[in-house]
Structure formats: C-alpha cells, structure tokens
Structure 1
Amino acid sequence: MKRWKLFLPLGFFLTFCVLLYIGLFMEDKSELPSMLLNKPVPEFSLKKLKQPEESVTEAALKGKVLLLNVWGSWCPACKVEHPYLIKLAREGINIVGVNYKDEHQDALKWLDRLEDPYLFNIVDKDGRLGLDLGVYGAPETFLIDKKGVIRHKHIGIIDNRVWKEDLKPRYDALQKELVQ
C-alpha cells in the first residue's frame, strides 16, 4: 500500500519537466499579454528628443496608424533592429520612438550616426511612460490605431519575418479601418 509513495517524487519530477518544456519551447515570448490591449495609450506629457522645448502628449499619437517603438542607445537588440526600422520608414510606415531611460546626448548621437526612422521621439528619461505601457525592456513595439488605441504589443526585435508574418497584416488591416 505504501509503495505508491515511492513514485510520488517521480511524478512531481515528470510534471515539472513537462511544465518546463512548455514554458521554454512552446510559448511565444513575443506575445506576452498586455493589460492595455484595446485601450488608449496612457496619458503623458513629455519632451521631444530633438526639440526639447516642445512637449508631446498622447494626442499626438492619434490620426494615423503607427508603430510606437521603445528603444535606447544602451540597448544592443535595438541596434540590431534599427536598420529594419529605417527600411520600414522609407516604405512609409509611421514610427514614433520612445527613447527609454537614455542619456539625451547618447540618443542624439545614435540617431545622427545610424539615421533617424522616427516621425519624432518621446523622451522617457525616468521610464514612467514605459512603466505605464507595461514595458519589460527594449526593444518593444506597440501597434497604435488611428484613435490612439493600442492594438498589439510585440516584445523583441522587429525583423523581416516579424514584420511580414505578424505586424504588417495587422498594420494594413488598421489602415483600412474607418475612424468614426
């Protein structure tokens, strides 16, 4: 009767292994749930990177479909992603940057050296906007509709595969929606 207790540790171990496998290999890490999905971009009033005398609010994100890209000059993955953002911008994709927890001069040098794909950049020096958006780190990109509502969140680098298979179909569908 007590022999089944001998197999209890084995059962726990096998259950742990199955859960570990699912967590490591089966879940899409770029699809972490966002509490803000289908909600407006949180309210903010922050400075622009290249025009620090100008403030920008969430209202500036309304009127066109856009990608809100969280980046920093300190971020190695952002450097990998940057050439693809330039390509998208040249194709007419609207991209607004959120310069996240960065030094002002480092960010300006980055854009001068690597080119600037952004319509404008929002300076989020203390990370408050990032916190309100639920940012885990950089790069992260939010797909914003014409009403300023967050429709999708992508964590990680945007490359050709991510753009063509995930973001572009969503972007194009939102472009076709009528604003009421």
Structure 2
Amino acid sequence: MLAPPLLFAALAALFLFGMNRSDPDQLPSAVAGNTAPPVGLAPLGDMATFDDASLRAGGVTLVNYWASWCAPCRAEHPQLEAMAAEGVTIYGINYKDRDADAQGFLAELGNPYAAIGTDSTGRTALDWGLYGVPETYVIDGTGKVTFRFAGPITVEVMNAQILPAIAAAQ
C-alpha cells in the first residue's frame, strides 16, 4: 500500500534532478576534474609531438581532437588560429585520419598547434572519453582537466566558455 506512493516520489525526484542539470545540451565528461589521461600518440609527419609531461609543464593548455574529414573541425579552425595567435598553447590530436589528409588540412587552413600527434586507432580518445570530433579540453598547469567542450568552437563559444575556462585554470 505504501510502495506506489514511494515509487512515485522516487521517480519524481529522479526526473527533477535530471531536468536541473546546469547545461542540458552539454554531454557529461568522464575526465573533467581529473588528471588528464595518458597521451600515447604517433607523430604527424615531421611535426613536433607532445606527451604527458607537456600537459604538466606549468601553463594552461588546450587539447583539441580534430580530423580532416570533420566539417565542424573546419568550421572551428579560425577560432583555434585566433587563440594561438593570442598566445594560447594548443596541442592537437588528429583522430582516426590519414596522415596525408591531416597534413593537407593544416597546409590549407594553417597550423594553430604548438605540437600535434595522431591517434589513428582511437585508443587515446577512449581514455579521454571522447564523444566525437571536434572536442576540446582545457588543462591547467598541473595536468588536470578543468573544462571540456564537445563540438565546434564558434566565436560565441570561444568568448563565453573557452576563454573564461582558460582564465579560471590559471
């Protein structure tokens, strides 16, 4: 007799909790708030690559997953170029792409990355909890992921979310 009202109350509480998320459009992150997962990447051509120590070198950095076959990656590229021109250190991870295609993408659009590696198998992406490309992580100077944004960085996203996250991580 008491079970139906208790079950109803529990379901109502669960629905209210789910509806009160701060940003229902943003996917949850498995790594935000934790130390950045290990980075095991192959080099892209003769470009400089990065490793775990690079993410813990003392400055705030971005890690950006991208691919040449990704149209939203092409759309966000001008914002990455603008941030790099302002001194933001951005490490790129080329995701499940052919090296020649990735190098062509950067030759055409410019290279905003301080260093870059390839994740041709997607193993590193699994460790990072990647939903898809593009996806960008803000890393503080100790290697902790302080913010994750899934999707293309527009001018609005850059100004309202990414740059404030960078400032907060310093």
Task: Output the aligned Cα RMSD.
Answer: 2.2
Q: Structure 2: how far apart are the matches of 1:122 and 1:105? A: 13
Out of 50, 53, 58, the position equivalent to 2:52 is 58
Q: How many residues align?
A: 152
Rounded Cα–Cα distance in structure 2 between residues aligned with 1:165 and 1:89: 17
Matches within 5 A, 1:10-49: 28-29=24-25, 31-49=26-44
Which residue number in structure 2 is paired with residue 92 of structure 1?
A: 87
Distance 1:56 1:91 in 2: 20
Q: Which moved more, 1:98-107 or 1:61-70?
A: 61-70
Distance 1:117 1:95 in 2: 7
Counterparts of 1:123 and 1:172 in 2: how far apart (Å)?
28
Match of 1:76 among 59, 71, 75: 71
Amino acid in the other structure paired with 2:144: V
Give 1:67 shift.
Answer: 1.0
Instruction: Give unpaired runs (5+ residues) of structure 1.
Output: 1-17, 176-180
Larger Rg: 1
Q: Aligned AA for 2:125?
A: G
What's the TM-score, normalizing by structure 1? Answer: 0.77
SS for the counterpart of 1:171 is helix
Give yes or no for contact 1:45–1:55 (8 Å, CA) kept in 2: no
Percent sequence identity is 37
1:122 aligned partner: 117
2:84 aligned partner, one-letter code: A
Secondary structure, counterpart of 2:72 in structure 1: helix
Q: CA distance change for structure 1 residues 137 and 87 in 2, over 3 Å: closer, same or farther?
A: same
Superposed, 1:117-156 pairs within 5 Å as: 117-156=112-151
The Cα offsets for residues 128-158 of structure 1, whole Å up to 9 and x where unpaired, read as 1111111111000011110111111101111
Matched to 1:87, the amino acid is A
Residues 77 and 145 of structure 1: CA distance in aligned 2, closer, same or farther (over 3 Å): same
Go from structure 1 to structure 2 and tell me whether the alpha carbon gap of 1:79 and 1:49 turns closer, same or farther (over 3 Å shift).
same
Does residue 158 (structure 1) correspond to residue 153 (structure 2)? The answer is yes
Residue type at the aligned position of 2:143: G
Number of the residue aligned with 2:3: none
Q: Secondary structure at the match of 1:164?
A: helix
Deviation at 1:109, TM superposition (A): 0.8
Q: Deviations over 1:112-137 (max 9, x none)?
A: 11100000112100011111111111
164, 168, 179: which one pairs with 2:163? 168
2: CA distance, partners of 1:50 / 1:143: 25
